[in-house]
Amino acid sequence: MTITISVALLGASIAYANIHQGRAVNAALPPQSVLVDPKSFAVLPDDFSYRTDSFNQHFNPTNSQDFPTFQVFNGAFLDIIGSSPSISEIASNSSFAFAHEAPVYIAETDEVFFASNDGGPLGMSDINHNNAFFKLNLTEAEQMLSSGGSQTVNVPITQIPLPDSIQMTNGATGPSNGNLILANSGRGTIPSTIALVNSKPPHNATVILNNYFGRQFNSLNDVKVHPTSGNLFFTDTIYGFLNRFRDTPLLPGQVYRFDMDTSAVRVVADNIDKPNGIAFTADGKTAYIADTGASGGKPTEPGTVYAFDVDPTTETFLNRRILAYIDAGVPDGLQVDVNGNVYTACADGVQVFAADGTLLGKFFLDISSANMVFAGPGRMVILAETKVFLAKIAPTTKGVVS
């Protein structure tokens, strides 16, 4: 169950001017959006019901009851969402968490690929059952939305058959030379793998890595390609064990680099509790890693996005610092836009931070998202377990594809 904690927002229009930081403000807030000025909730009233949990109790200080909503915490968010943003539900299945992670957008066919929940609630997968990999057609979704005049449609999804060597897909990126790149957790004794999958039918697949010098990874979580070197970077964490479909973990939670030419694999970052989402800035100089340490009811552990410098020679991750500690559950999937803003999926939807750590705004769903992907300029597909959302934002907002 989701409980939304609210406090009345005082002086919204005045606050709007405040957060616009000196820029001319005469435009109204765009549709489906609400202003959430940090000044309006810095001091909460005596009768405020404080949150005791950040996963199920979401912060909704304007008491808005319309979900999904764009919450504007800073004027710069208006440049990201543009003047006529919208978020629509394009697919749903209340009994199946079919849309969990591993989103990849293929522009050529206007399709989004994604994986169902691996080992978690409503995932219909466990140590005896693989999860499923799907695609949906965004052209079809857009046509259904415009013909029905509704903000909720249910586009059909198509399962992609994968070989038995690929089990419990949890992360993906691409396309890279026409292929999706999958990070698979493995299942039982079947190892974690990195695999290439043809983005076109017959969607044939090839495993390109399944061990670290003869040892199995714990359960690979997510993957990105470095934008300039082309090397592959992936995270390994213990969710396969926690979700009871993998054996006792035998390696630290780490980030690895895989050289696509030589197949050499090495560690580039450690000392992360549960390394999860990964993303690079367009220039490849900064890497972001999400630490989901607080998941599973551990509020004193990290729920934090870390920034690192990527060493230009070794590609080791250096100079770790905090980009943001998330106020809603933990940060899971990460994406970066071409202006360097960082998007993270978390317990209340998608939150957006500037490179300096400022919370700019939220795609506030009031339900949990584990990942999202840009689907061409001005579009983002958000996976929310039993639902998929399509957000339309400013056409100038574009994701880094890596």
Ligand X SMILES: *[C@@H]1O[C@H](CO)[C@@H](O)[C@H](O)[C@H]1NC(C)=O
Using the minimum distance from each CB to ligand X, give the nearer residue, 110 or 309: 110
Residue from 40, 54, 173, 179 in contact with ligand X (CB under 6 A): 179
Using the minimum distance from each CB to ligand X, give the nearer residue, 180 or 290: 180
Using the minimum distance from each CB to ligand X, give the nearer residue, 34 or 132: 132
- Give 266's Cβ-side CA count (13 Å radius): 10
Q: How many residues make contact with ligand X (CB under 6 A)?
A: 16
Concatenated DSSP letters of 370-394: -EEEE-STTEEEEEEBTEEEEEE--
CA–CA separation, 237 and 220 (whole Å) = 6
Site string for ligand X, 197-226 (x = CB under 6 A): xx-----xxx--------------------
Beta-bridge partners for 351: 344, 362
Interface of this chain with ligand X, residues 129 to 158, rule: CB under 6 A: 137, 139-140, 143
Q: Is 165 in the site for ligand X (CB under 6 A)?
A: no
Is residue 101 within 8 Å of 222, Cβ to Cβ? yes
Using the minimum distance from each CB to ligand X, give the nearer residue, 291 or 385: 385
Residue from 145, 196, 289, 380 in contact with ligand X (CB under 6 A): 196
CA–CA separation, 257 and 332 (whole Å) = 20
Using the minimum distance from each CB to ligand X, give the nearer residue, 140 or 247: 140
Interface of this chain with ligand X, residues 47 to 106, rule: CB under 6 A: 93, 95-96
> Three-state SS string across 175-240, please?
EECCEEEEEECCEECECCEEEEEECCCCCCEEEEECCECCECCCEEEEEEECCCCCCEEEEEECHH
CA–CA separation, 250 and 394 (whole Å) = 45
Using the minimum distance from each CB to ligand X, give the nearer residue, 197 or 305: 197
Under the rule (CB under 6 A), what is the footprint of ligand X? 93, 95-96, 109, 111, 137, 139-140, 143, 179, 196-198, 204-206
